[in-house]
Amino acid sequence: MITRAAALGRYLTTRRGLVRPEDAGLPQEDGRRVSGLRRIEVAALADVSADYYLRLEQGRDQRPSEAVLAGIGRALQLDEHAMDYLFRLAYDVDLFPAEHLPSESHQPSSAERPVPDTTLLDHWSDTGAYITDGNRDIVASNTLARRVGGGLLDVGQNDVLGYFDDRIRAVAPEWEAYAPNVVAALRYSSDPSSPRLQEIVDELTRRSPLFTRLWARHDARPLAGAPLRASIDDFGTVELQYQHLVVPDWPGHQLTTIFAEPGTPGSAVLAYLAVRGD
């Protein structure tokens, strides 16, 4: 199991390799052997000692100061979401706080975690809705979401595994363009030391070379709403809208709603599915 300190070190190493020297205001060098920044260059830009920065990358230092993290974030040109992720790694902050977990020492599965009252989801008869935890496991979904998902949005499924399912890839021309957002959201919301996260990453690595490349970048940002094509039995492919919202009373979880623009084929299909009996 990877520790937070090790995860922080990997994150810094990877992001350092993605910053071009010229973008950091450094002079070009003939025969430079690295495409990204050197450790000593990051240290200088962040105004910390090279030895201290080395200890961070090697996972040998705990809880660097906010000023140090801010300086490193500037040096690595991290945006606000990447900075948020950096601070969470450094200070061992989980999006799923301990007070929301059972008292047993084992890592709970989604089925074991306490689920809040989700009856509101079923009142949204004309809007698909489901809730995911930090690992993007689906812990609640309403009838319309399950009908739209064709099994991929049932409770117990995983939203990221579902996105990399061949059924989604076959019908969504925007699939590959949006995949980086899905992968970055998994890293952003999950605990790097979670055994469940490792299971998901291992399966996706076996399944998808694209996932493997994207995961190696260590991008981290929340998922934004976007249009996505879905294949609905008896109706073919329609365009739907997905909107992602935090769940204030349940930290670390996200509510996703599925809807369509009025007057579109997608809207008509959702209206039919909402009143269709099982």
Do 83 and 169 fall into the same domain? no
Q: Which of 39, 74, 90 is the last residue of a domain?
A: 90
The reply to whether 109 falls in a domain is no
Contacts for 84 with CB less than 8 Å, ≥ 6 apart: 188
Measured CA to CA, the distance from residue 44 to residue 64 in angstroms comes to 16
CA distance 218 to 86: 11
Beta bridge partner(s), residue 158: 137
Number of other CB atoms surrounding residue 103 within 10 Å: 5
Map residue 82 onto helix, strand or coil: helix
* pTM listed for this prediction: 0.86
The answer to the question of residue 183 being in a domain is: yes
User: Are residue 8 and residue 51 in the same domain, yes or no?
Assistant: yes
Question: Which of 28, 48, 37, 33 has the alpha carbon at shortest distance from 77?
Answer: 37
In a domain, 164, yes or no: yes
Same structural domain, 25 and 143: no
Backbone angles phi, psi at 258, to 5 degrees: -120, 125
Q: Per the domain annotation, does 101 fall within a domain?
A: no
Tens digits of pLDDT across the chain (278 residues): 688 889 999 999 999 999 999 999 988 787 788 889 999 999 999 999 999 999 999 998 878 999 999 999 999 999 999 999 999 999 877 654 443 333 333 344 444 455 556 677 888 888 999 999 999 999 999 999 999 998 999 999 999 999 999 888 888 888 999 999 999 999 999 999 899 999 999 999 999 999 999 999 999 999 988 888 888 877 888 899 999 998 877 878 999 999 999 999 999 999 999 887 55
* Cross-sheet strand order for the sheet of 236-246: 138-141, 128-132, 254-259, 236-246, 226-232
Flag whether 159 is in a domain.
yes
12, 72 in Cβ contact below 8 A? yes
User: How many structural domains compose the chain?
Assistant: 2
Q: Are residues 83 and 219 in the same domain?
A: no
Residue 153, classed as helix, strand or coil, is coil
Task: Decide if 112 is inside a domain.
Answer: no
Q: Which helix (H) or strand (E) holds 33?
A: none
**200 shares its domain with 68:** no
The answer as to whether 205 is a domain residue is yes
* Collapsed DSSP state (helix, strand, coil) of residue 142: coil
Task: Indicate the residue type of 168.
Answer: I
CATH number of the structural domain spanning residue 143: 3.30.450.180
Domain that holds residue 51: 4-90
59/158 same-domain check: no
Spatial separation of the C-alpha atoms in residues 244 and 131, rounded to whole Å: 9
Q: Is 97 within a domain?
A: no
Q: Residue 214 is encoded by which pair of tokens? A: 């994207």
Q: Are residues 85 and 125 in the same domain?
A: no
Note the pLDDT of residue 104: 37
